[in-house]
Amino acid sequence: MSLTVVSTPIGNFEDITIRAKKVLENADLIICEERRPASTLLKKLGINGKELRELNEHSQPQDVRDLLSLCRKSAVALISDCGTPGFSDPGAILVQACYGENIDVHVCPGPSSLMALVAVCGVDLKEFHFAGFLSAESEKRKKQIVALAKTKTPVFLMDTPYRINTVLVDLAKEMPDRTAVLGLDLTGANHQVVRKKLRELGKTEWEKLPFVLLLI
């Protein structure tokens, strides 16, 4: 029948939209990135008894085909752990597959960590480059950072919370004088936006929280 891509809160559960809640309530099935965050969200929203299926970096081609089959006959909602699916997560694979099978795809837009930082960074952005996640391999990551140091366009980076200090230290080594805006746990209980030189950010031991980084 259809697939609806649904944005979910990035930190504050009250940021769920009225329409997003209705879509999740009416869905026959919810495809999530990980069961635990999805179950927590649904519990917060008072939504019970929904079947959950996972789509993440461990999913195999057959898993995607199985989910596609469900989209053909059911009203399916797609969510990620937080924010908007399809943005630095495997959701785009399923969306592309739906288009290939002429399955209707809808979007219920809302929270996005990148756009949240755009709103509060205090920079008049006419354009920017989204570099996404740097490599987990140190040598490959260093080459990526060297390449990023040459660009003058503002650059957005994301990564997992446990790599925040590694990423900032490595960035500081290659471009210590570049100013950056660090958004920590945006909209959450530990919400913080810090604007400093990378050399300063790299010297601080940051709490392992969800983050987005803008290199100005």
Domain harbouring 84, CATH code:
3.40.1010.10
Domain boundary residue among 42, 75, 108? Answer: 108
43 lies in the same domain as 73: yes
162 lies in the same domain as 189: yes
Q: How many CB atoms lie within 10 A of CB 163?
A: 16
pLDDT of residue 90: 83
100 lies in the same domain as 156: no
Could you tell me the CATH number of the domain that includes residue 134? 3.30.950.10
Q: How many CB atoms lie within 10 A of CB 140?
A: 11
Question: What's the CA gap between 133 and 145, in Å, rounded?
Answer: 11
91 lies in the same domain as 51: yes
Q: Which of 98, 42, 47 is nearest to 75 (CA)?
A: 98
Q: How many CB atoms lie within 10 A of CB 57?
A: 7
Question: What's the CA gap between 26 and 76, in Å, rounded?
Answer: 9
Domain holding 20, by residue range, is 2-108
Question: What's the CA gap between 101 and 115, in Å, rounded?
Answer: 31
Residue 75 has pLDDT above 90, yes or no: yes
100 lies in the same domain as 141: no
CA angle 9, 12, 17 (to 5 degrees): 50
103 lies in the same domain as 66: yes
Domain boundary residue among 57, 89, 108? Answer: 108
Q: Are 159 and 209 in contact (CB under 8 A)?
A: no
Residue 89 has pLDDT above 90, yes or no: no
Q: What percent of the chain has pLDDT over 70?
A: 100
pLDDT of residue 106: 97
For the entire predicted model, the pTM comes to 0.88
The pLDDT-based confidence of 98 (bands split at 50, 70, 90) is very high
pLDDT of residue 88: 75
| Residue in the block written with tokens 């592309």 | 96
91 lies in the same domain as 169: no
The torsion angle over the Cα atoms of residues 96, 100, 106 and 109, rounded to 10 degrees, is 10
Domain count, the chain: 2
79 lies in the same domain as 118: no
Domain boundary residue among 59, 88, 108? Answer: 108
Question: What's the CA gap between 177 and 197, in Å, rounded?
Answer: 6
104 lies in the same domain as 7: yes
